[in-house]
């Protein structure tokens, strides 16, 4: 069997991500294509530069928007130690935390892909934050941030908003 060219590998990576049911890590892709993780990171960067809709999430790469449903941006505020409670409220009500967005004084809007859909996703995310001693993006803005929330229908979105409001995470301007 002939060796795969870099272009063939990139097309194969894009196809695999399009067909995947969830995030695929760079390490898993590197193993699959017998290259280094850094080669995969470069491949994905080139695919994205070429217009591919690929996002890097805490659990790996995903292609496309992530599914049908309603999306809305929600302004939230909380202390760093309440991040898990907030994400759990979203997924327990049936929603997905697609991303987190903050406004930075120098860089403008900063967005971090999340794609958190379950309590398991929340636990994995919090474990990674702790292992890497990472600070939430909302630390840059005194706890104020936006989330893009995706829900299958309006009733679910209403439940998510109610859960966030009940726990005091929705930002209300006085």
- Please determine, for residue 63, whether its predicted confidence score (pLDDT) is greater than 70: yes
Pick the CATH number of 6-63 from 1.10.10.10, 3.30.479.10, 1.10.10.1100, 3.30.470.20: 1.10.10.10
Q: What pLDDT, in 10s, does the model give residues 32-57? A: 999 999 999 999 988 988 878 888 88
Q: Where are the domains of the chain?
A: 6-63, 70-166
**CATH number assigned to the domain covering 70-166:** 3.30.1340.20
Whole-structure pTM value: 0.72
Contacts 24+ apart (CB under 8 A), 167-173: 167/85, 167/86, 167/89, 168/78, 169/76, 169/77, 169/78, 169/82, 169/85, 169/86, 169/89, 170/74, 170/75, 170/76, 171/75, 171/76, 171/77, 171/144
Q: What pLDDT, in 10s, does the model give residues 77-123? A: 999 999 999 999 999 999 999 999 999 888 899 999 898 999 999 99
């Amino acid at each position: 069997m002939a060796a795969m060219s870099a272009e063939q590998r990139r097309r194969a990576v894009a196809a695999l991500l399009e067909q995947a049911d969830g995030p695929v890590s760079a390490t898993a892709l590197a193993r699959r294509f017998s290259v280094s993780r850094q080669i995969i990171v470069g491949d994905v960067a080139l695919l994205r530069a070429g217009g591919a809709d690929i996002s890097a999430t805490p659990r790996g790469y995903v292609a496309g928007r992530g599914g049908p449903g309603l999306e809305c941006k929600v302004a939230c505020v909380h202390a760093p130690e309440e991040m898990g409670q907030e994400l759990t409220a979203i997924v327990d009500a049936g929603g997905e935390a697609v991303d987190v967005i903050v406004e930075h004084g120098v860089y403008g809007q900063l967005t971090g892909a999340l794609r958190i859909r379950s309590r398991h996703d929340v636990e994995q995310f919090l474990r990674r934050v702790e292992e890497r001693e990472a600070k939430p993006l909302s630390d840059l803005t005194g706890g104020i941030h936006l989330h893009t929330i995706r829900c299958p229908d309006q009733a679910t979105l209403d439940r998510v908003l109610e859960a966030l409001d009940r726990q005091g995470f929705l930002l209300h301007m006085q």
